[in-house]
Structure 1
């Protein structure tokens, strides 16, 4: 099997179309600067997970330095941000970090990412706008606390 890269959304219009185009699958968009170490790490996990979740999730990337359209609206200030959409609706996930709008920290385990995507998809399919992550990530804020 040949190498497959994650589809990159090159304009705001492409982001909108990706979100609008999926009727039955979760749309996962990784926003960030592809030159950042955190983004490269997340992309590697997403790349490994994408074929395993393709039945229920479509995974995309978006370079926030090329497509700044959503930076303010979605508060894309972290090096890497993963957001979820279902039937043109932003899906929120409670990671225990205090930020339910997006996944803005790095994971190190492919299965952990798959578990999150499954939980978000199942909740979305049931009409929920907010789901609880399969694990509490509150330690992330303590680890990343400044000062």
Structure 2
């Protein structure tokens, strides 16, 4: 299904989609085409794309591409898939009760969960907010133990 979505492999492609997506939420899925969890998420994103197309643009970012490493480091992408949201070139954050508000780590359980999250970000952005509360119940938010080596 991911072939239905644009895949970005160059820094300038990511720069321009962030800059040029105006009055819509931009969803960037950072991950690998070979990863099972990424493919699961891509399926949900592709199935949702038409329904959210009036207020959202979705693109996939290949974390294995050499030129993308600057973004992988900048957004501290250690787990894939990681989904990052923007509105009018502003990085939108979401408080989902996890330690990291800058990105959604993991996949969405179902299509409606993704749509609900994008709608919440869009509504918050329309009110001038840069951080919104996650509309999903806690049991549908992926949890990851962040492990620190040598601490």
TM-score by length of 2: 0.88
CA distance in 2, matches of 1:125, 1:113: 18
RMSD: 1.9
Q: Aligned residues, how many?
A: 143
User: How far does residue 98 in structure 1 lie from its aligned partner after superposition?
Assistant: 1.8
After superposition, give the CA deviation of every residue in 1:81-124 in whole Å (9 maximum; x if it has no partner): 00000111100011111211000022121001100000001101
Q: Does the CA contact (< 8 Å) of 1:8 and 1:60 recur in 2?
A: yes
User: Closer, same or farther in 2 for the Cα pair 1:26/1:146, shift >3 Å?
Assistant: closer
Q: Which whole-Å CA distance do the structure 2 matches of 1:146 and 1:76 have between them? A: 12
Q: Is the 8 A contact 1:95 1:136 kept in 2?
A: no
Q: Which runs of 5+ in 2 are unaligned?
A: none
Aligned equivalents of 1:54, 1:4: Cα separation in 2: 17
Moved runs in structure 1, 4+ residues, more than 3 A?
Answer: 136-140, 144-147
Structure 2 residue aligned with 1:140: 142
Q: Which residue of 2 aligns with 1:7?
A: 6
Name the SS for the 1:71 alignment partner: helix
1:50 aligned partner: 49
What is the CA–CA distance in structure 2 between the aligned matches of 1:121 and 1:43, rounded to whole Å? 20
2:132 is matched with 131
Matched, 1:63 2:65: no
5+ residue gaps, structure 1, are none
